[in-house]
């Protein structure tokens, strides 16, 4: 079966004046349908930059990314790619745009030009999926951090994506909020078969992933099942020497 997302010889550099600053270096990766893939690494390792290539927010400097058979450099099909791959970012306040939870979740489907009844069905389904239907008339600013992030996820789910990419979605949450969001996403993967790419710096959050990608200085340096990756303790410490507290939280 063809992977949902294929990354082939991907390199990426930001332009800084007349020079290019390399961020990603010759990355090859396949993300399979229904997989829960975790991406970890210290700050500056390229995790978020890589994630933004999965739905064409960024385009490769060289190499290519293919989403469900569509090359991300195909400008005529970029909207299709972004319907297939939805992104949730660190700060849910940056993704909440309306005065009530219901209106916020409706924002994406309304932009698709769907019929009102279809939009209502999608809102209900998405809010039920994240256990937030009881709050549909609440203003988002009255919610907890974990609840806000769950509403942000619902807004993406209402677009019916194939893949959910979450870029450090729990980094601004307290432990209870972190657990709420992780539980919801794990259930979406387990019960709905949704493909999940989970980017985090909390090592305990990757234990339930099918595979873990470890990044260091723009490269994939380890890829495997969680236990296989965590068994490489010495290498993990070596690659993360600039951020030892990152690994200390996992007692590596």
Give mean pLDDT, residues 44-62: 95
Is residue 246 pLDDT above 50, yes or no? no
Average pLDDT, the chain: 90
How sure is the predictor about 240, in pLDDT bands with cuts at 50, 70 and 90?
low
Is residue 241 pLDDT above 50, yes or no? no
The pLDDT value given to residue 191 = 94
Is residue 239 pLDDT above 90, yes or no? no
Judged by average pLDDT, the poorest of 9-13, 60-64, 236-240 is 236-240
The pLDDT value given to residue 242 = 44
Residue 231: give the domain boundaries: 5-248
Instruction: Count how many domains the chain has.
Output: 1
> pLDDT (tens digit, 9 = 90+) per residue, 128-184?
999 999 999 999 999 999 999 999 999 999 999 999 999 999 988 999 999 999 999
Listing DSSP states for the chain in one string gives ---SEEEEEEEEEEEETTEEEEEEEEEEEEE-TT-EEEEE--TTSSHHHHHTTTTTSS--SEEEEEETTEETT-GGGHHHHHHHEEEE-S-GGGT--SSSHHHHHHHHHHHTT--HHHHHHHHHHHHHHTT-GGGTTS-GGGS-HHHHHHHHHHHHHTT--SEEEEESTTTTS-HHHHHHHHHHHHHHHHHH--EEEEE-S-GGGGTT-SEEEEEETTEEEEEE-HHHHHT-HHHHHHHTGGGHHHHHTTT-
Question: Hey, which of 55-64, 92-101, 199-208, 227-236 has the most confident mean pLDDT?
Answer: 55-64
The pLDDT value given to residue 244 = 44
State the CATH number of the domain containing residue 74: 3.40.50.300
């Amino acid at each position: 079966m063809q992977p949902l997302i294929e990354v082939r010889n991907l390199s990426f550099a930001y332009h800084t004046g007349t020079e290019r600053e390399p961020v990603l270096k010759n990355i090859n990766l396949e993300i399979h349908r229904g997989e829960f893939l975790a991406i970890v690494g210290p700050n500056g390792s390229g995790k978020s930059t890589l994630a933004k290539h999965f739905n064409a927010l960024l385009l490769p400097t060289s190499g290519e990314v293919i989403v469900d058979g569509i090359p991300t450099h195909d400008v005529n099909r970029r909207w299709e790619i972004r319907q297939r791959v939805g992104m949730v970012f660190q700060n849910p306040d940056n993704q909440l745009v309306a005065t009530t939870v219901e209106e916020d979740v409706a924002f994406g489907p309304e932009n698709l030009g769907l019929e009102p009844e279809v939009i209502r069905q999608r809102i209900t389904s998405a809010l039920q999926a994240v256990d937030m239907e009881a709050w549909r008339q609440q203003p988002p600013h009255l919610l907890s951090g974990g609840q806000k992030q769950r509403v942000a996820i619902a807004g993406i789910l209402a677009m019916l994506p194939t893949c959910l990419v979450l870029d450090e979605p729990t980094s601004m949450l307290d432990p209870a909020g972190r657990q709420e969001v992780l539980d919801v996403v794990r259930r979406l993967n387990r019960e709905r078969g949704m493909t999940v790419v989970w980017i985090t710096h909390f090592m305990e959050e990757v234990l339930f992933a099918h595979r873990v990608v470890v990044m260091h200085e723009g490269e994939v340096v380890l890829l495997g099942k969680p236990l296989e990756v965590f068994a490489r303790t010495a290498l993990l410490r070596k690659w993360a020497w600039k951020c030892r507290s990152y690994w200390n939280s996992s007692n590596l």
